[in-house]
Amino acid sequence: MSRFFANGSDSESESSEEEIQATNFNKASAFQFSDDEEEVKRVVRSTKEKRYENLTSIIKTIRNHKKIKDIPNTLSSFEDLTRAYQKALPVISKEENGITPRFYIRCLAELEDFINEVWEDREGRKNLSKNNSKSLGTLRQKVRKYIKDFEDDLSRFREAPDQESEAEDEVVALDSDGGDAGDDSDAGVKREPTEALPKTAKSAPAKAAPADDDDSDDSIDWDSDSESETESSDDENQYQNMRERFLKRTTEKEDKDDDKRKDKRKEQKVKIRKRAEDDEDGEWETVVKGHVVEKPKMFEKDAEIDVPLVLAKLLEIMSARGKKRTDRRLQIDLLFELRDISDQHNLGTAVSVKIHFNIISAIYDYNQKISEPMKLEHWALLLEVMQSMMKLLLANPDIIMSESVAEEHEEYTASPYYVRGCPLAAVERLDDEFVKLLKECDPHSNDYVSRLKDEINVVKTIELVLQYFERSGTNNERCRIYLRKIEHLYYKFDPEVLKKKRGEVPATTSTSVDVMDKLCKFIYAKDDTDRIRTRAILAHIYHHAMHDNWFQARDLVLMSHLQDNIDAADPATRILYNRMMANLGLCAFRQENVKDAHHCLVDLMVTGKPKELLAQGLLPQRQHERSAEQEKIEKQRQMPFHMHINLELLECVYLVSAMLLEIPYIAAHEFDARRRMISKTFYQQLRSSERQSLVGPPESMREHVVAAAKAMRCGNWQACANFIVNKKMNTKVWDLFYESDRVREMLTKFIKEESLRTYLFTYSNVYTSISIPSLAQMYELPVPKVHSIISKMIINEELMASLDDPSETVVMHRSEPSRLQALAMQFVDKVTNLVDVNEKVFDMKQGNFFQRGNMGNRGDRGYNRNQNNQGGNWGGQRRDNRNNRNRNQRGHHKNNQDRQNNQDRQQQVQTIDEE
């Protein structure tokens, strides 16, 4: 029996039970009661509440998946969210007048931001698993397609993302602490719909408040007098069925509690806003990462501070180095405090130098990841401490600081002082940190310029260390610090060098070339490691080439034989070698050595990867060509931006050099089927342009060079020069050279000369004789220059002609075949090759490819084999006869040519004798 029926005596309870069953049997027969029915919470919710609760639960799940970057589950939850929203659309269109709830728009905006963030992080995206990567692409496509229907709502939300409605506040409260929602949902009465979301605390007030209060009171006395019976009889008349009688009802007390909770939430929001305003108006408070450690006392109050005590404290501070839970910032502060205490008590310069060196070590230890640069505050501190330590060492020659000094042999009390440490290693690490800081900055920003200004202080520090080791250092240490100075000097252009060449400054003026010569010669003589010497030679050649010392740079390259064993060097040295060859090619081009310039640049440009070979960036690779670890290592090898060589300038110089060499060669060997390619890259560019059916005006640098090459093939030097030397090319390429006007004049002169040679190669079979003054006028060259060019062509047997000096004409011998004859000979060669190939295929099909012509002597091979051999002998004899006939024809042609040349020479000799 239920506790409800435990009131009064047994007879009363039985009679009341019979009455209830008799009156409400038909209505309450479907209900079954148990002892625990009073504890069960029955909630009646509207369709809107159900749909909105489903949406908020899915949104909460999506947020949890985003926190741990579980992309596959995020994708599945997003699909569930879209389906749930589709089900909720009728409710939204009815209750919200078709306006999308703000919390749903917020979820879509957050999901879009999350996908964009993950997608833009390329390094992190490469490290994703295969499943995550595949799900990310699918999720990105689906979200981008889905949010097109919510573009207006998303734009309005992004304009004011912090404006939240009351309904959204309640959704946030439901997500953050579920207790309030649970308490409010216990009301159990149908709730009226609100504007945006269902309010969980709204319910209709009870009709009989006093009776409800009495019934809902837990402290009611069940064994009271007859008042309870009258009240229960009133309740029976009040409710229509048994279910309404036993449903839990909201009371005024619960309503008050709900109002109190809402008031508390509003008060908390007001407090948070006031606190934020106070923070804006007040001072900022520094928050230290990790647990806060109180700064320990350095010494006791009455302690007598001397050298042993300070050294013991220094050892105590540095013994915590590298240990777990060591506050590195506090360690640096303690060392600075110890240095100040040492200076106040005049404990000596040696102790101060020791503390300085330990401060430098502590600053280096602050950054745990070697691949990442240090913070700027620590960088400025490091420069200051390093220069201060070196000034102390230079001002006190009796202090000897070396890594060869053992800790037990250190001396701080009597001169000479011995301190253990290595300033050379410290300055090398300082230089490396400076390079890492430059690589971290955007090269096109002001940060890079401000970081680059620190190079002055870095070079000053290197100079201080260099002075110290020149006074007391081994040859190996001096070579190492010399190399550091060379690496900061070799790529910088010094205009004083060219002024000194022209005699504009006194000959005693010291230039960067003189400094480089002094440092490198010491390394050549004293270095016992190949790497330092190799890098010094490469930097020396680079510096000579930058200042147009072509012959010195070329001789150093030839004498060092670097090109023979550079493949065995480390990657950094190979990068320096590539940079040296690129700059040497530019120097050769400026010094009018086009062939040498092409030879220096061909190895770089033929690969198509000069950017990677010069360590000036990474080309995009396929997925499995380069791992993440390899890409990280290659990024560490990249050169800082201010040391880059202009790649467009390199390519333009290479293509122009190839054009000046290739076009005359093509014209001279137009019908030679076996002619070689001087520049494969240029040849491909030319052929691809010729294959195009419609060629427009040139726009890029490559198109300008190809158009110039086509003009040169016709001997039109003016059009060629206009394509190479124009306003657009000047701005992009030629103005980058020092003394660019001289380079443009040199280019125009070379174009005239090579166009003249191409013209003679192409049209020599048309002329019987050509006037040299007319050629000079056509190509705007001096007559002696034209005479010299033609003489060289005749001596090299490139042009079959003779010079008639009295008449200043070139007499053609017409020994070259005409165009029709050359095409016929080319056709004959191709047919001959085709016949040879067919005969080889026929012989292989017949099985006759072993000792052709000799197999017939073996009688045991059979008659058929002999017949095949006879056919093979006949084919071989026919081919030999044809080859002999062609050889005789070529020999006859050569003899006629030689005879004609001899006659011409005899005629010239006779004319000279007669004169």
Please report which confidence band the pLDDT of residue 448 belongs to, taking 50, 70 and 90 as the band edges.
very high
Check if the beta carbon of residue 139 is closer than 8 Å to that of residue 71: yes
- Distance of CA 890 to CAs 813, 882, 886, Å? 17, 12, 6
**Where in 406-552 does DSSP place strands (E)?**
417-420
Q: Hey, which residues does 769 pair with through a beta bridge? A: 811
Of residues 736 and 368, more confidence is placed in 736
| Sign, Cα dihedral of 853, 859, 861, 864 | positive
Of residues 689 and 164, more confidence is placed in 689
Task: Identify residue 896 by its one-letter amino acid code.
Answer: N
Q: In the predicted model, is pLDDT for residue 569 greater than 50?
A: yes
Of residues 501 and 898, more confidence is placed in 501
Q: What is the pLDDT of residue 525?
A: 93
306-473 CATH fold: 1.25.40
Burial of 742 (0-12, 13-18, 19+ CB in 10 A): exposed
Please report which confidence band the pLDDT of residue 668 belongs to, taking 50, 70 and 90 as the band edges.
confident
Check if the beta carbon of residue 542 is closer than 8 Å to that of residue 493: no
- Range in 264-268, 365-369, 381-385, 500-504 with the lowest mean pLDDT: 264-268
- Distance of CA 16 to CAs 32, 231, 686, 759, Å? 17, 14, 111, 129
Q: What is the pLDDT of residue 262?
A: 64
What is the average per-residue pLDDT within 831-835?
88
- Note the pLDDT tens digit of each residue in 8-21: 444 444 444 444 44
- Note the pLDDT tens digit of each residue in 516-541: 999 999 999 998 888 999 999 999 99
Please report which confidence band the pLDDT of residue 452 belongs to, taking 50, 70 and 90 as the band edges.
very high
Q: Look up residue 713 and give its two tokens.
A: 């093939």
Q: In the predicted model, is pLDDT for residue 814 greater than 80?
A: no
- Note the pLDDT tens digit of each residue in 98-118: 688 888 888 999 998 899 888
- Note the pLDDT tens digit of each residue in 464-492: 999 999 988 889 999 999 999 999 999 99
Q: Give one DSSP letter per residue of 142-207, joined into a string.
A: HHHHHGGGGHHHHHHHHHSTT---HHHHHHHHHHH-HHHHHHHHTT-S-----SSS--TT--PPPS
Share of the chain above pLDDT 90, in %: 28
What is the helix (H) or strand (E) element at residue 402, kind and residue range?
A: strand 399-402
Task: Identify residue 326 by its one-letter amino acid code.
Answer: T
- Range in 193-197, 317-321, 391-395, 807-811 with the lowest mean pLDDT: 193-197
Buried/exposed code over 169-185 (b: 16+ C-beta within 10 A; e: otherwise) = ebbebbeeeeebbeebb
What is the average per-residue pLDDT within 837-841?
88
What is the average per-residue pLDDT within 766-781?
90
Given its phi and psi angles, is residue 399 left (phi above 0), alpha (psi -120 to 50 degrees) or beta? beta
- Distance of CA 514 to CAs 348, 488, 500, Å? 40, 15, 11
- Note the pLDDT tens digit of each residue in 680-737: 888 888 888 888 887 788 888 888 999 999 999 888 899 999 999 888 887 788 888 9
Q: Look up residue 396 and give its two tokens.
A: 């006190």
Identify which of 538, 667, 665, 645 has the alpha carbon closest to the alpha carbon of residue 601.
645
What is the average per-residue pLDDT within 365-377?
84
Phi, psi of 402 (to 5 degrees): -155, 150
Q: What is the pLDDT of residue 38?
A: 45
Phi, psi of 161 (to 5 degrees): -75, -20
Of residues 298 and 72, more confidence is placed in 72
Number of C-beta neighbours around residue 554 at 10 A: 20
Q: Name every residue whose Cβ is closer than 8 Å to that of residue 681 and which is 6 or more positions away in sequence.
A: 605, 606, 608, 654, 655, 658
Q: In the predicted model, is pLDDT for residue 4 greater than 60?
A: no
Q: Look up residue 140 and give its two tokens.
A: 């990105």
- Note the pLDDT tens digit of each residue in 26-53: 444 444 444 444 444 566 677 878 888 8
Give the C-alpha separation, 705 to 723, whole Å. Answer: 7
Phi, psi of 462 (to 5 degrees): -65, -40
Task: Identify residue 483 by its one-letter amino acid code.
Answer: L
Number of C-beta neighbours around residue 810 at 10 A: 25
Q: In the predicted model, is pLDDT for residue 427 greater than 90?
A: yes
Q: Name every residue whose Cβ is closer than 8 Å to that of residue 238 and which is 6 or more positions away in sequence.
A: 207, 208
Task: Identify residue 521 by its one-letter amino acid code.
Answer: K
- Note the pLDDT tens digit of each residue in 630-665: 888 888 889 999 999 999 999 999 999 999 999 998
Check if the beta carbon of residue 598 is closer than 8 Å to that of residue 657: yes
- Note the pLDDT tens digit of each residue in 150-160: 888 888 888 88
Q: Hey, which residues does 817 pair with through a beta bridge? A: none
Give the pairing type, strands 417-420 and 399-402: parallel
pTM: 0.61
Q: What is the pLDDT of residue 774?
A: 92
Q: In the predicted model, is pLDDT for residue 618 greater than 90?
A: no
Of residues 633 and 818, more confidence is placed in 633
Q: Look up residue 498 and give its two tokens.
A: 């060219």
Q: Name every residue whose Cβ is closer than 8 Å to that of residue 837 and which is 6 or more positions away in sequence.
A: none
Q: What is the pLDDT of residue 895?
A: 56
Q: In the predicted model, is pLDDT for residue 578 greater than 90?
A: yes
Q: In the predicted model, is pLDDT for residue 235 greater than 70?
A: no
Given its phi and psi angles, is residue 859 left (phi above 0), alpha (psi -120 to 50 degrees) or beta? alpha
What is the average per-residue pLDDT within 581-587?
94
What is the helix (H) or strand (E) element at residue 20, kind and residue range?
A: helix 10-23
Cis peptide before 610 (omega within 30 of 0): no
Domain residue extents for the chain: 47-185, 306-473, 647-763, 819-914
Q: How far is CA 148 from the centre of its chain?
A: 32
Task: Identify residue 470 by its one-letter amino acid code.
Answer: E
Please report which confidence band the pLDDT of residue 270 belongs to, taking 50, 70 and 90 as the band edges.
low
Share of the chain above pLDDT 70, in %: 71
For all residues of the chain together, what is the average pLDDT?
A: 77
Q: What is the pLDDT of residue 373?
A: 87
Task: Identify residue 199 by its one-letter amino acid code.
Answer: K
Residue 404, helix vs strand vs coil: coil
Task: Give the position of tokens 């080859």.
Answer: 883
Task: Identify residue 177 by its one-letter amino acid code.
Answer: D
What is the average per-residue pLDDT within 90-96?
80
What is the average per-residue pLDDT within 288-302?
61
Number of C-beta neighbours around residue 477 at 10 A: 19
Q: In the predicted model, is pLDDT for residue 66 greater than 60?
A: yes
Q: What is the pLDDT of residue 804?
A: 86
Q: In the predicted model, is pLDDT for residue 67 greater than 80?
A: yes
Q: What is the pLDDT of residue 301?
A: 73
Given its phi and psi angles, is residue 503 left (phi above 0), alpha (psi -120 to 50 degrees) or beta? left
Give the C-alpha separation, 606 to 227, whole Å. Answer: 109
Give the pairing type, strands 769-771 and 809-812: antiparallel
Q: How far is CA 625 from the centre of its chain?
A: 15
Of residues 878 and 396, more confidence is placed in 396
Q: Name every residue whose Cβ is closer than 8 Å to that of residue 551 and which is 6 or more positions away in sequence.
A: none
Of residues 188 and 328, more confidence is placed in 328
Q: What is the pLDDT of residue 211?
A: 37
Give the C-alpha separation, 541 to 888, whole Å. Answer: 53
Number of C-beta neighbours around residue 660 at 10 A: 26
